[in-house]
Structure 1
């Protein structure tokens, strides 16, 4: 895991420094819109001699534009920049794979997903493209599922067969990349169904929902397969809800054990060390009450956390380079949607990074959560991300946890349970005081 993080940190090439100073690549990355990035890139080309247009001088810029355009669904612009043969950094290849997943999930262009994934897999096989972060299995999943959607069942089955074991993709079982296992199960079910194996696909997704190895995209697939397996979609919603309720209750009971019963406004939080589970390490240290902390939002405005006394407050610490941090956000968004602003406030608090970096990232990735910044990590001296803390309406710490739950649904269930337990016990305590 440390190696993965290091790879992401070392994501840009030294040769980007060869570009004219005013076209610094780090400045280029924080331009929020790809259209504006392209304008800046074209300005740079006008100042460079033609023989340097497709060289190491512009490599990182071309790689950035390729995945950024694909993330908007613009396959034509992606193909244009990909035709210049950029040498993708590890970060860029990760975002390229993410963009291809988005294109598939949004059902925009299955033919493009099949074609692009096949081309990338061929480059990896030939050694002209390096996959440092192990995204090859994801490309295979996408290729198989896209071909299944296109009716090319033999190709789909042949490709998905190479992914039948966990050994082919060990990262699938590790909660690091967003929805690794749930996406695989969804795509595998799509291939099974296309091959006429609807009962097997039904059983696969039933288990997935029951165990929370699922996400919103899986619902659409499951409904289609349910209808094929049962001959009707009657009672699908009831069946799905029963599976989701079962998964939620499982994690509710799991989370319930973590509730901090004794009211604490300050706390030195510990977790088992990742190197030795018998030893404890400090996760964060809350030396002052949450009501005494003020942080800035992305507009540079002060946000006193005391303003949210009287409601349940969730804060989650993250960085843009923390892949599991961002993976959790879709689950957070669902929790936020379940409550009014009077009941719950959730902030994701970026650590260590500049405002321009965070602001651009939030805009580029379409993050809708309320973002604050603690560039110096002064509020809680957090030792690892992602880390979340849940406060009751009086500002007492009731839960804390670290890491990503592994799927959008599981992240949603766990945080939802924490909020519901905090809410219920806070209401009970208030009733007892009045009584």
Structure 2
């Protein structure tokens, strides 16, 4: 299924700002009630053009086995086509060695002349960004041409570079901001593209402000973030948090206080926010106890998620599943009878999965002494030839103490059986299962905020334990 997602994802990104026509063929397939007619239409499309196969991929996007077979068919029938090109980009993205990626890219330039390879150029640039190879990363980042994708690529590279070369990160950001201004001056730029570029500008300004703040230049950081804050119709939690912190640094305590309080009560605070809010509270309310104040906010957060957990609770039988631990030993649902278990389906290529791990480590630590709660971090939808080694390496490199299990693709069915049994369509996907083998909660994705994630999942675990 992940093969299909990269194909559809890249195509979607390429066409995101074009005026895409309504796909009448896909609508016809979805509305067809006669199974005989439906199969006839599907078979005809399967032997049609590459565009027809794209339509089928959209239709079968929740059927991993069929989707993957369609991708294989398209690559075989259209070896120089868009799907074949996107699959080559997918393979390059999965590679971690810069020189190997460069060789793959050189071959792609020969195999797909004139194709949009911006994603591949960015991937190589990012690999060299992590390797701290400045000449190489700048060389490949320069090859990214799309004015709509380039800001995203620059943001990603600059945010990584900032950890070891803040001056270079600042330069990349200011150069890209100048390029965006040139694009927005074009008369033929669509309203949708302009809105995207506005968001890209705000993202780059926000990152620039973070870099300045880390270097202690709070006043200049505030200047840039203030521009973002007043121009943003929808203010993200990160924007509210960072703006509140900068207001506090400037001594604007009355303005900063409600923003940082909201960050805490939303479960999105970190130790820096909590310390700053406590400091402001002491200044605004001398004589009052800031620890009691923060404790009251924590209690509100806990109560909020307990109430939400009660509303979200379900009662479905968990499907039987088999996964293997890191040593290759098979385990099944029956092995955890009587325990509340948390399944976390993830993959090393999944950004949101990895972003959720700091919070998940916090939850694991919280229940470490509870023998009735067990966590299974199940790696699935692999893209590498040795997914077990890759998953182990990732966890070790990032110092995560998480119990690893593997859901390797079945060679016969071409499915990852465990994730398919739970009918997962996207990861990260989490399931809280009680001691009687009943699914009590389902969670998909990760929206950020470690405290919020810990509070939410803790409420669900406690509820599942109490109701089994």
TM-score after normalising by structure 2: 0.61
2:404 matched to 1:375?
no
CA contact (8 A) 2:229 2:239 kept: no
Q: CA deviation at 1:390?
A: 1.0
- Take 2:394 and 2:198, find their aligned partners in 1: how far apart are those partners? 21
Q: 1:43 to 1:385 in 2, by over 3 A?
A: closer
User: In structure 2, what is the equivalent of residue 118 of structure 1?
Assistant: 174
Distance 1:43 1:138 in 2: 33
Q: Of the candidates 56, 76, 97, which is equivalent to residue 155 of structure 2?
A: 97
- How far, CA to CA, are the matches of 1:151 and 1:305 in structure 2? 52
| Pairwise CA RMSD | 4.9
Bigger relative contact order (CA 8 A; separation at least 6): 1
Q: 2:376–2:405: 8 Å Cα contact kept in structure 1?
A: yes
Q: How does 1:27-426 map to 2 (within 5 A)?
A: 27-32=91-96, 37-41=97-101, 60-71=119-130, 74=132, 76=134, 80-81=138-139, 84-87=142-145, 97-98=155-156, 100-101=158-159, 110-127=166-183, 134-153=199-218, 155-165=220-230, 168=232, 170=234, 181-212=236-267, 214-216=268-270, 219-224=271-276, 226-227=278-279, 230=282, 239-260=293-314, 266=317, 286=318, 288=319, 292-296=320-324, 302-317=330-345, 326-340=354-368, 342-349=371-378, 352-356=381-385, 368=400, 369=402, 370=404, 372-373=406-407, 375=416, 377-383=419-425, 385-404=427-446, 407-426=449-468
Query: 1:295 Cα shift?
Result: 2.6
> Which whole-Å CA distance do the structure 1 matches of 2:383 and 2:104 have between them?
25
Partner-residue secondary structure (3-state), 1:381: coil
Task: Quote the Cα distance in structure 2 between the aligned partners of 1:389 and 1:410.
Answer: 17
Give the unaligned 5+ runs of structure 2: 16-74, 185-192, 408-414
Structure 1: which 5+ runs fail to align? 173-180, 267-285, 427-435
CA radius of gyration, larger in = 2
The answer to which structure has the higher helix fraction is 2
CA contact (8 A) 1:182 1:215 kept: no
Q: For residues 406 and 174 of structure 2, what CA distance do their matches in structure 1 show?
A: 40
CA distance in 2, matches of 1:160, 1:152: 12
Equivalent residues, number: 370
Tell me how far apart the structure 1 counterparts of residues 105 and 460 of structure 2 sit (CA, whole Å): 53
TM-score, length basis structure 1: 0.65
Q: Which residue of 2 aligns with 1:429?
A: none
| Aligned twin of 1:274 | none
